Structure 1
C-alpha cells in the first residue's frame, strides 16, 4: 500500500526553536526516507492523511477538511502552565479545548506512556498509540577540544550543559543555584525566548538572566546545528525542568554520549530506565560533582546514555507511523504501543 501523508506543524511558519518543531522535522525526514510513503508538508496540497503536530488554527481547519487526521499530542494543559504567559487562570478551558481537539482526530499519538496516561486523565477517548521520540543518529562529531575552540569555551574546565527555552517550567532558577554552588565548573544554557514576551514571567526571566552567577553562560536561541557543537563540547547534561513529556534535548544529549543528570520525573523513569542519575534541588550539586570528579562514573553513564540511541532509530519511528497510517486508511483501529 502506498500512502501520501501531509505532515504539518504551525511551527514551520510561526515559532520554531523548540522540541515540538524538532520532532516535526525528524518525523518528516524519516518518512521521506521510508518505502511505501510519500511525505509532504504543505497545507495547500491534498493527501490521503494529515499528521498534525500542533493544535492551532491551521490544525483546527485540517480537522474539518482532511479525509483522515492523526495528531501527535505534544501539549497538555500541564505543559503549557509555566511556559506561556497567562495560561494558569485558563488551565481548565485549555484542557477542555485540548480534550475536544484530540478526540476530534482519527487517531492520537503519545510520545511516551506517561503522556498517554495524562491524556486519558484529561478525558481523551480516542485510540492512542505510543511512539516515543527518537533523536537523529549522530554519524560523526568533532572532538571536544575542537568544539570548545569553535565556541570559545575553556579547554580545561568542566562544562555542564542544559538545552531548553528560558521559562519557569524549565528550572532556570535551579540551574543558577546549582551553578553558584559549583564555581569551578562552567554552566551553559543553550536556548532563549522563542515566544518572546508571551513567555511565562518573561520580565522576571530576563531579570534572572541578568543576575546569573559568573560561571553561567546563556547562549540565547540557536539553530539546531549550532546546538550540536555544545553537545560535543560538554562533559555532562543537566536538565532541571519541572514538567516534561518526552524532551528532545535529553534524547539528543544521550545520542552524543553525555552523562545525564535529570530531575526525578515519572516520564524519565518510563522512557529512560536506569540510564540517568535522578535528582532534585537538594541533590543536584552532589550528583553533578560525582559525575565530574569520577572518570569511571562518566564512562559508565556515557555508555548508558548511548544505549538509548541503540534501542531505536528514526527509521523505526517511520515504520511505526506507517503502520498507524495504513491501518487507519484500511478502516482498522490501530492499537500500536512502542515503549522502546
Structure 2
C-alpha cells in the first residue's frame, strides 16, 4: 500500500500541526508502509494534513480517480480565533470553507473526542479519533538539562511553565496575571515569540508582563523546557488536543488546566488539577496548592502513567487500520 502523505504549507506551518505530522511519519516508518510526502495521485490513499487550496484541488482529483481521501482535522474555526494577527477576522469565513473541504474526504482523523464533536457539525464524513500522540524518545534525557536551562533563564523551583506558541487563546492573560499575583514564583513560557505576528492586545500583554514572567522565544532543545519547568499551567480556552500537554505528562509534570471539554478525559485531583470558569482566582488557589512537592509528585507520577496510552507505539496501529478500511 502506498500513501501520499501531504502536508500543505509544510515549510511555513509550525507548532502542534507540524509536530503531529512528524509523529504520523514516524508511525508510518514503524508500519513499514511505502509513502511519499508529495501530492501523488498514483497512491492508494491520499492523506491531507492541512486542507489548503492545493490540498482541496488534489482531493477532488483523487476522488475522481476513486482514490480514497483521508484528512486530519487539525484546524477548526473555533480553534483558529485569538491565535495570530487577523485570525479572528478569518475565523468566521473559515468554517464554511472547512465544511466543504472536509466534506471531500472519505475519512476524517480527529485528534480528540472533543474535536470529533465539533467536526460532526461541519460534515457527515465518517470520523475516527486518533490522538496526535507523544514522542517519548524525543524527550529522553530531558532531566539532564535542568541546571543549564534554569541558569539560562534565571528560574528557581517551583517554576510554573507552558510550552508552545505565545497566543491569547492559550490563556495568555491568565498566565500573565498569575505571575503578577504570585511574585514569589517564576513563570516561563517556552515557545516562538514573533511580535510581528501578534495582535496589539497580545503584544501589550507580553511587553507589560511582570519581571517574574519570562517569554523565552524559540528554544533550540525543547527538552530544556520540561527540565526547567515544575508545574505545567495550561489555561487555554480552546484546544483540539494539546501535544505539549501530553509531553508534560510524559515528563512527569503535574498539570493545571482549565476545565474545558477537551480535557474531560483528565481526572481532577488524580492526574491534574482543573479550574472552572474564566477567572484567575481558581488558578491562583490551585498554584498555591501545587507549591506542595508531595502533591506535585503524586499528580506528575499519575500523569506519566496515563501518558503511556498516547505513545506513538500505542497509536500506530490505528493508522494501519484506517488505511486498510478506506482502501
TM-score if structure 2 supplies the norm length?
A: 0.90
SS, match of residue 233 in structure 2: strand
Whether 1:63 and 2:59 are equivalent positions in the alignment is yes
Report the counterpart of residue 323 of structure 2 in structure 1.
325
Tell me the residue number matched to 1:166. Answer: 166
Q: Which position in structure 1 is the counterpart of 2:239?
A: 244
Give the Å deviation of 1:147. Answer: 2.1
Corresponding position of 1:306: 304
Structure 1 position 233 matched with structure 2 position 237: no
Aligned mate of 1:276, from 255, 259, 272 = 272
Distance 1:157 1:314, change over 3 A: closer
Contact kept, 8 Å, 2:193 with 2:215, in 1: the verdict is no
The aligned counterpart of 1:128 is 127
- 2:183 equivalent in structure 1: 183
For the 8 Å contact 2:249–2:304, the answer to whether it is kept is yes
In terms of mean alpha carbon deviation, does 39-48 or 66-75 score higher? 39-48
Q: Which residue of 2 aligns with 1:260?
A: 255
What is the CA–CA distance in structure 2 between the aligned matches of 1:210 and 1:130, rounded to whole Å?
39
The equivalent of 2:116 in structure 1 is 116
Counterpart in the other structure of 1:288: 287
2:4–2:38 Cα contact (<8 Å) kept: yes
Whole-Å Cα distance in 2 between the matches of residues 296 and 96 of structure 1? 49
Tell me, what secondary structure is at the counterpart of 1:242? Answer: coil
> In the alignment, is residue 40 of structure 1 matched against residue 36 of structure 2?
yes
Show structure 2 runs of 5+ residues with no match: none
2:98 corresponds to: 98
Q: Name the CA distance, whole Å, in 1 between partners of 2:238 and 2:142.
A: 32
Q: Deviations over 1:250-300 (max 9, x none)?
A: 111111110000111111013x344211115221111112112x1221111
Q: What is the number of equivalent residue pairs in this alignment?
A: 316
> Matches of 1:243 and 1:87 in 2, distance apart?
14
Cα RMSD for the two superposed structures: 2.1
Q: Deviations over 1:29-82 (max 9, x none)?
A: 1111224x2233123684211221112123122212332210110111111111
Tell me the distance in 1 between the aligned counterparts of 2:5 and 2:275. 37
TM-score for both structures, normalised by structure 1: 0.86
The runs of at least 4 aligned residues of structure 1 exceeding 6 Å deviation read: none
Cα 1:176–1:150 change in 2 (3 A) is closer
* Counterpart mapping for 1:145-160 below 5 A: 146-152=145-151, 153-154=153-154, 156-160=156-160
Structure-to-structure mapping, 1:10-89, within 5 angstroms = 10-16=8-14, 18-35=15-32, 37-43=33-39, 46-66=42-62, 67-89=67-89
Q: Is the 8 Å Cα contact of residues 142 and 226 (structure 2) preserved in structure 1? A: no
2:201 is aligned, of 201, 204, 218, to 204
> Relative to structure 1, is the Cα distance of residues 117 and 156 closer, same or farther in structure 2, using a 3 angstrom cutoff?
closer
2:210 matched to which residue of 1? 213
**Given that residues 246 and 310 in structure 2 are in contact (C-alpha distance below 8 angstroms), is that contact kept between their aligned partners in structure 1?**
no
Q: d(CA) in 1 for partners of 2:169 and 2:4? A: 32
